[in-house]
């Protein structure tokens, strides 16, 4: 089935260590604020840097309020033709941990609050969505959710899709990455020679996509997937999977490499990821568009990363600003363009990359809408 309707991002909301709204998030990035905390409670006998939401409300409350805000601000009078798509790596694991740590028992754990679709389960109790789908593909979860949203909108299956990327901090994930020896004791510095590693973080990102544009819409023009299956936890060193995903996304958007103005990198701050992605970008983009990672502000929000970085990419296009890299003092590449300051620029297309364990790669292309 090929109808080719367009997918427009018409409303969004974000909550992260960098702010309790999308505007706060973007301001924190442009002003290079310190958003990452040092924590000694997750990993025994060790301080690690994490990205923690600074809000007294529970993660569940913030999630429900955020969705209500986006839906209330939209043109929807009801949600009967709205699909809910959730991308998450953690699901309700944090809820399960809190019950277990309190009771020292599994008896009171509710499996409906534990699984990946627990987020959709709770949202459906509040809103009358037509249906829901949950994606759990590690750190590409919400990027893949956005890709699926574009597909169902372009085929005319739905007119409205609410995409939610959400992951909360929990001991299982923080200690899991500690076991891989990739955590940093300070805020991460992707693409810097002196980087230590990544920061595990939490975030909620909510985007409403529709098949008709509004005054300030940004189009999700292209989606590209690949799977290089090089290694369980490391990407191919030459960036082969990343290259394929980017190439597929640009092909889907029907644009050339030269038309890309900014790349929001996956950029976790680990040696394996940064080098692989840099190799892919340097080999593809001879025009050297600016590349940067916003994880030095938000940390790595795991399954929420694709959605929250989609919001950042959309705001770059809306505000015509290339956002800065934070604390990038000694870049380990001279064949890639970085900026340490927010720059006003003529942006037409932005690429946002999300890469995950197992060589699971997704690239998204966002484009400024024409005036007519």
Q: Would you please indicate which residues are annotated as catalytic (active-site) residues?
A: 139, 266, 300
Q: How many residues are recorded in the chain?
A: 372
11 DSSP β-pair partners: 208
CA–CA gap between residue 277 and residue 103 (Å, rounded): 44
**N- to C-terminal Cα distance for the chain?**
27
Residue 330 near residue 191 (C-beta atoms within 8 A): no
205 DSSP β-pair partners: 14, 165
DSSP state of 358: G
Residue 295 near residue 269 (C-beta atoms within 8 A): yes
Residue 288 near residue 258 (C-beta atoms within 8 A): no
Which residues does 289 contact at the CB level (< 8 Å), separation at least 6?
260, 261, 262, 263, 337
φ/ψ of residue 233, rounded to 5: -125, -5
């Amino acid at each position: 089935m090929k109808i080719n309707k367009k997918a427009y991002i018409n409303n969004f909301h974000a909550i992260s260590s960098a702010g309790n709204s999308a505007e706060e998030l973007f301001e924190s990035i442009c002003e290079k604020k310190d958003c990452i905390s040092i924590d000694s409670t997750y990993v025994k006998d060790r301080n690690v840097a994490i990205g923690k939401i600074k809000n007294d409300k529970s993660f569940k409350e913030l999630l429900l309020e955020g969705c209500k805000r986006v839906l209330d601000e939209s043109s929807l009078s009801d949600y009967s033709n709205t699909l809910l798509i959730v991308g998450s790596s953690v699901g309700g694991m944090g809820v399960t941990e809190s019950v277990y740590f309190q009771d020292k028992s599994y008896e009171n754990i509710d499996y409906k609050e534990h699984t990946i679709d627990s987020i959709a389960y709770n949202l459906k109790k509040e809103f009358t969505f037509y249906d829901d789908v949950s994606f759990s593909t590690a750190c590409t979860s919400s990027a893949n959710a956005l890709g699926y949203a574009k597909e169902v909108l372009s085929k005319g299956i739905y007119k409205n899709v609410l995409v939610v990327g959400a992951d909360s901090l929990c001991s299982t994930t923080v200690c899991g990455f500690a076991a891989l020896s990739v955590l940093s004791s300070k805020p991460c510095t992707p693409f810097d020679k002196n980087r230590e590693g990544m920061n595990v973080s939490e975030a909620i990102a909510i985007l409403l996509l529709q098949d008709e544009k509004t005054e300030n819409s940004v189009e999700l023009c292209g989606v590209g997937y690949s799977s290089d299956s090089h290694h369980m936890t490391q990407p191919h060193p030459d960036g082969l999977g990343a290259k394929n995903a980017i190439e597929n996304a640009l092909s889907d958007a029907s644009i050339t490499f030269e038309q890309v103005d900014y790349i929001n990198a996956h950029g976790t701050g680990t040696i394996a990821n940064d080098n692989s992605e840099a190799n892919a970008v340097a080999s593809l983009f001879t025009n050297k568009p600016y590349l940067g990672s916003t994880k030095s502000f938000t940390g790595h929000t795991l399954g929420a990363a694709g959605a929250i970085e989609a919001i950042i990419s959309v705001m770059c296009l809306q505000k015509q600003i290339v956002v800065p890299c934070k604390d990038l003092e000694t870049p380990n590449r001279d064949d890639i363009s970085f900026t340490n300051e927010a720059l006003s620029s003529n942006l037409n297309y932005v690429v946002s990359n999300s890469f995950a364990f197992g060589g699971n790669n997704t690239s998204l292309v966002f484009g400024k809408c024409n005036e007519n």
